[in-house]
Amino acid sequence: MEQKKIPTEWNLSDLGTSYNDPSFLKERKLHERAIKKFARRWKKNQSYLTNPDTLLRALNEYEQLNTLPDREGMYLFLMRQVDSLNTELAAAEKKYIDWVQKLSDEIRFFSLSLGKIERSLQKKILADERFADYKNYLKGIFETAKYQLSEPEERILSLKSGVASGNWASMVGELFARESAEVLVKKGSRRVKEVKPFAEILANLQSSCSRVRASAAKALVDIFRKHSFVVEKEFNSILEDKKINDMLRGFKRPDQARILSDDITPAVVDTLIETVTDYFSISRDFYKLKAQLMGKEKLHYYERNAPTFKMKKEQTFPYEKAVALVGETFAQLDEDFARIFYNMVETGKVDVYPRVGKQDGAFCMYHGKNEPVYVMLNYTKKMNDVMTLAHEMGHAVHGTLSKKENALNYDTPMFTAETASTFAEGLVFKRLLQEVNEKEQLKLMMTRLGDTVSTVMRQIAAYNFEWEVHHAFREKGYLSAEEIGVIFQKHMKSYMGPAVLQDYDAEKWWMYWSHFRSPFYVYSYASGLLMSNGMHAIINENPKKWRKVKAFFETGTSKSPKQIFKEMGINIEKRDFWEAGLKEIQTLLCDTKKLAKKLGKV
In single-letter form, the type of residue at position 317 comes to F
* Residue bearing the bigger pLDDT, 181 or 186: 181
Q: Answer yes or no: is pLDDT of 111 > 50.
A: yes
- Whether residue 581 contacts residue 533, with contact meaning beta carbons closer than 8 Å, is answered with yes
Q: Answer yes or no: is pLDDT of 1 > 70.
A: no
E-assigned strand segments in 292-373: 350-351, 363-365
d(CA 452, CA 283): 9
pLDDT of the residue at 14: 94
pLDDT tens column, 536-547 = 888 888 999 999
- For the chain, domains (ranges, CATH) are 22-170 (1.20.140.70)
- What percentage of the chain has pLDDT greater than the value 90? 76
Looking only at the bridges linking them, the beta strands covering 350-351 and 374-376 are parallel
pLDDT tens column, 59-75 = 999 999 999 989 999 99
- Residue 130 in 3-state DSSP? helix
Read off the pLDDT of each residue in 562-572 and give the average, rounded to a whole number: 88
pLDDT tens column, 309-342 = 876 666 788 999 999 999 999 999 999 999 999 9
Exposed (0-12), middle (13-18) or buried (19+): which is 359, by Cβ within 10 Å? buried
* pTM assigned to the model: 0.80
pLDDT of the residue at 86: 92
Task: Indicate if the alpha-carbon torsion angle 26, 29, 35, 38 is positive or negative.
Answer: negative
d(CA 104, CA 126): 26
User: Phi-psi bin for 169: left (phi > 0), alpha (psi -120 to 50), beta?
Assistant: alpha
pLDDT of the residue at 537: 84
Lowest-pLDDT range of 186-195, 309-318, 593-602: 309-318
Other C-beta atoms closer than 10 Å to the C-beta of 563 total 12
Share the mean pLDDT of the chain. Answer: 93
d(CA 577, CA 571): 7
pLDDT tens column, 212-252 = 999 999 999 999 999 999 999 999 999 999 999 999 999 99
Q: Answer yes or no: is pLDDT of 2 > 70.
A: no
Lowest-pLDDT range of 188-192, 344-348, 408-412, 488-492: 188-192
Query: CA nearest 470: which of 273, 244, 304, 297?
Result: 244
Exposed (0-12), middle (13-18) or buried (19+): which is 376, by Cβ within 10 Å? buried
pLDDT of the residue at 571: 85
